[in-house]
């Protein structure tokens, strides 16, 4: 019956309602699989999709299904990322992240919560229900390890007067950012299954890019070109996928948007809307393309 509304379970949560046409599109794309729990009006309870007579086979016999499935194999895996979220949800979650950073102790948990939410808002071609599986415990070790190291350096600095604390602290900070990138990439999952991704960029290369970024501010606008080049390097070093991750934005495209964002944020109130605009554009510049090698 075309008028029925369908629901399915994903990541332990109920998804829906969806129309019959939408639901069958989910099946053809592989979002709803044979083992997925589904429910619609008239059913006594949730059942696996394969247990409902004619549900899976009717989609595979549909005239439109072969073309969709062929596109999934040959072309639909390519395309740009996208991100979508409500502005008020963005505001309160960002405030919680900021407050958590101020109080230090809760920061690892708040940061993981923020990552889980932001990743769930991101759409990747042929990777439905993107999620983040990282644990706050991992950050906790890095976090307090860095604090302990900073305290130790401070003591050494007072004893011998080397005055290198600021420079070493900056290097430690960059090292933590590099670890965070590796950790985030390694903990991405789709439909509850780890994607098996990894980040192969070296720590020294990452430090080099950040040093170049600092130096580029001398030119006033050169940082935008360094940033886009660094983003291309970051994307190029994401391994474990048959598709290549490409950042296609140019320095000029990023520069004028950054200027608009800064000017609008001076007014404070438009800030969240401008940040969402930048984030949407940024996500759209990350493209997945089939590897030709």
**Which pLDDT tens digit goes with each residue over 230-253?**
999 999 999 988 788 999 999 999
Whether residue 52 is found in the same domain as residue 127: no
pLDDT the model gives residue 118: 95
Q: How far is CA 10 from the centre of its chain?
A: 18
Task: Kindly report, residue by residue over 134-178, the tens digit of the pLDDT.
Answer: 888 877 776 666 666 666 666 666 666 555 666 677 777 788 889
pLDDT the model gives residue 266: 81
Helices in the chain by DSSP H: which ranges? 20-29, 55-61, 64-74, 87-103, 107-120, 136-160, 165-186, 203-216, 222-236, 251-265, 271-284
The CATH number that applies at residue 58 is 3.30.1490
240's tokens: 């474990």
Q: Is the dihedral of CA 220, 216, 207, 149 positive or negative?
A: negative
Q: What is the DSSP secondary structure assignment for residue 195, as one 8-state letter?
A: -
Whether residue 36 is found in the same domain as residue 134: no
Contacts (Cβ under 8 Å, ≥6 apart) of 213: 223, 226, 227, 230
Whether residue 51 is found in the same domain as residue 128: no
Contacts (Cβ under 8 Å, ≥6 apart) of 169: 150, 153
Closest CA to 191 of 62, 63, 35: 35
Give me the number of domains the chain comprises. 2
**Final residue in a domain of this structure, among 74, 99, 132:** 74
Whether residue 45 is found in the same domain as residue 170: no
Whether residue 285 is found in the same domain as residue 205: yes
Whether residue 44 is found in the same domain as residue 109: no
Whether residue 148 is found in the same domain as residue 15: no
Ramachandran category for residue 86: left, alpha or beta (phi over 0 → left; psi -120 to 50 → alpha): beta
12's tokens: 């332990």
Whether residue 30 is found in the same domain as residue 111: no
Per-residue pLDDT at 187 exceeds 80: yes
Task: Report the alpha-carbon distance of residue 216 to residue 94 in Å, rounded.
Answer: 29
pLDDT the model gives residue 258: 92
Average pLDDT, the chain: 81
Structural domain boundaries, residue 254: 79-290
**Final residue in a domain of this structure, among 50, 74, 98:** 74
The backbone torsions φ and ψ at residue 242, rounded to the nearest 5 degrees and listed phi first, read: -75, -15
pLDDT the model gives residue 164: 61
pLDDT the model gives residue 186: 93
Per-residue pLDDT averaged across 103-130, rounded? 88
């Amino acid at each position: 019956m075309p008028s029925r509304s369908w629901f399915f379970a994903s990541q332990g949560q109920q998804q829906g309602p969806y129309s019959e046409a939408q639901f069958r599109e989910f099946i053809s794309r592989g979002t709803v699989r044979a083992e997925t729990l589904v429910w619609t009006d008239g059913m006594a309870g949730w059942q696996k999709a394969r247990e409902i007579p004619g549900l899976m086979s009717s989609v595979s016999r549909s005239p439109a299904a072969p073309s969709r499935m062929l596109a999934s194999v040959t072309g639909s895996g390519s395309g740009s990322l996208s991100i979508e979220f409500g502005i008020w949800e963005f505001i309160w979650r960002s405030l919680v992240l900021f407050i958590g950073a101020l109080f230090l102790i809760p920061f690892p948990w708040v940061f993981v919560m923020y990552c889980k939410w932001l990743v769930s808002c991101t759409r990747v071609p042929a990777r439905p229900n993107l999620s983040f599986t990282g644990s706050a415990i991992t950050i906790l070790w890095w976090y307090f390890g860095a604090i302990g190291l900073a305290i130790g350096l401070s003591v050494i600095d007072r004893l011998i007067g080397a005055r290198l604390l600021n420079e070493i602290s900056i290097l430690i900070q960059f090292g933590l950012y590099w670890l965070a990138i590796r950790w985030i990439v390694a903990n991405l999952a789709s439909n509850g299954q780890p994607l098996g991704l990894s980040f192969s960029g070296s720590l020294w290369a990452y430090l080099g890019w950040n040093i170049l970024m600092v130096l580029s501010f001398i030119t006033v606008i050169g940082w935008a070109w360094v940033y886009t080049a660094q983003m291309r390097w970051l994307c190029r070093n994401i391994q474990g996928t048959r598709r290549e991750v490409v950042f296609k934005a140019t320095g000029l495209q990023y520069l004028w948007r950054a200027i608009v964002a800064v000017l609008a944020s001076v007014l404070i109130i438009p800030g969240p809307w401008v940040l969402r605009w930048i984030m949407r554009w940024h996500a759209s510049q990350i493209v997945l393309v089939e590897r030709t090698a």
